[in-house]
Amino acid sequence: DAMVIQNPRYQVTQFGKPVTLSCSQTLNHNVMYWYQQKSSQAPKLLFHYYDKDFNNEADTPDNFQSRRPNTSFCFLDIRSPGLGDAAMYLCATSATPYEQYFGPGTRLTVT
């Protein structure tokens, strides 16, 4: 049973065209994270929500925004995608210090 679901798995967008990636979870975890992972690199945390509290990493570009309308869903909005934003975007959830579960990721291509 999928616990962290990401849609779509593959997304192609045009340069400068806004795109939204979605994440949902069935775990009822209070913390949700968005990571960006470029090819052959480690995941890089963009931001996270602790319940409704939004926490942005200092070096996350303003081009990236997020919404969490309820416990189960979290969205990543890229307002004006550039070629450098092509990457795998991973959503993760956590409720305790001992676990962090990842979704399958959305692979974003920018043309």
C-alpha 66/C-alpha 45 separation (Å) is 13
Of residues 41, 67, 77, 80, which one binds other proteins by CB under 8 A?
Answer: 41
Of residues 23, 74, 92, 108, which one binds other proteins by CB under 8 A?
Answer: 92
State yes or no: residue 100 binds other proteins (CB under 8 A).
yes
Beta-carbon contacts of residue 82 (< 8 Å; ≥ 6 apart): 15, 16, 63, 110
State yes or no: residue 94 binds other proteins (CB under 8 A).
yes
Of residues 68, 73, 88, 109, which one binds other proteins by CB under 8 A?
Answer: 88
Other CB atoms within a 10 A radius of the CB of residue 52 amount to 10
CB of 42 to other proteins, least distance (A): 4
What are 81's two structure tokens?
């995608």
Give DSSP secondary structure letters for 11-69: EEE-TT--EEEEEEESS--SEEEEEEE-TTS--EEEEEEETTEEEE-TT--TTEEEE-S
Of residues 28, 42, 69, 70, which one binds other proteins by CB under 8 A?
Answer: 42
CB of 58 to other proteins, least distance (A): 13
Binding site for other proteins (CB under 8 A): 31, 33, 40-43, 45, 48, 50, 55, 88, 90, 92, 94, 96-105, 107
